[in-house]
Amino acid sequence: MQKIRPCLWFDNQAEEAAEFYVSVFGGDSRIENVTRRPEGSESAGSVLTVDFVLAGQEYLGLNGGPQFTFDEAVSLSVDCADQEEVDRLWAKFTEDGEESQCGWLKDKYGLSWQIVPRELPELLSGPDRARAERAMKAMMGMRKLDVQALRDA
């Protein structure tokens, strides 16, 4: 078990969300445990928590009720190897979700994600400051990030 793991608060969709995220990332992703509310409780037998792993990173999904919802103050940033991975993840997460700008989106559960090509930090902070500024300006006009357009900027 890793020392620190994010806990994601859902109304009542923690298991559904974990299954969706595992299907999106595949590979080193899995549901490890589902804890159900005990007999005698108001929602006996319903899912309370889901322990899951995405690309080797552990998470806890909690069905805590409608009191809290996700917002952009917290997002999960995904390092994408290439444009193909950016495109694939963007399509999966924006299906029933919503696009934002600069590589950000919200999935169908309201969780914010940053879908980031691996080259982006280098393009934005390279030694050629004029080129970095052009890449930043190009990025600010995008929703899904386009690696080639960022390179060409």
* CATH at 113: 3.10.180.10
What pLDDT, on a 0 to 100 scale, did the predictor assign at position 41? 83
- Is the same domain home to 58 and 77? no
- Is the same domain home to 139 and 83? yes
Distances (CA, A) of 52 to 14, 55, 96, 146, 152: 10, 10, 22, 30, 39
CB burial of 1-15 (b: ≥16 within 10 Å; e: otherwise) equals eeeeeeebbbeebbb
Task: Tell me what percent of the residues of the chain surpass a pLDDT of 70.
Answer: 100
- Is the same domain home to 77 and 151? yes
Task: Tell me what percent of the residues of the chain surpass a pLDDT of 90.
Answer: 92
What pLDDT, on a 0 to 100 scale, did the predictor assign at position 80? 97
- Is the same domain home to 36 and 107? no
Domain end, chosen from 68, 94, 123, is at 68
- Is the same domain home to 63 and 92? no
Q: Look at phi and psi of residue 63 and say left if phi exceeds 0, alpha if psi is from -120 to 50, else beta.
A: beta
H-helix or E-strand spanning residue 48: strand 47-54
- Is the same domain home to 79 and 53? no
Domain end, chosen from 68, 90, 107, is at 68
- Is the same domain home to 113 and 150? yes
- The answer to whether the pTM exceeds 0.85 is yes
Give the range of the structural domain holding residue 147, as residue numbers without chain letter.
70-153
- pLDDT band at residue 120 under the 50/70/90 scheme: very high
- Is the same domain home to 80 and 137? yes
What pLDDT, on a 0 to 100 scale, did the predictor assign at position 40? 86
How many whole angstroms separate alpha carbon 23 and alpha carbon 79? Answer: 17
How much helix, strand and coil, in percent to the nearest 5, is found in the chain?
30, 30, 40
Domain end, chosen from 68, 87, 107, is at 68
Written as six digits, the tokens of 33 are 């445990």
The predicted model gives 128-149 an average pLDDT of 95
- Is the same domain home to 86 and 135? yes
For the chain, the domain total comes to 2
How many whole angstroms separate alpha carbon 35 and alpha carbon 53? Answer: 15
The torsion defined by the Cα of 122, 127, 131 and 134, in degrees rounded to 10, comes to 60
- Is the same domain home to 23 and 90? no
- Is the same domain home to 78 and 56? no
Tell me which residue of 75, 144, 145, 143 sits closest to 111, measured CA to CA: 75
Residue 126 has pLDDT above 90, yes or no: no
- Is the same domain home to 77 and 124? yes
What pLDDT, on a 0 to 100 scale, did the predictor assign at position 70? 96
Residue 43 has pLDDT above 90, yes or no: no
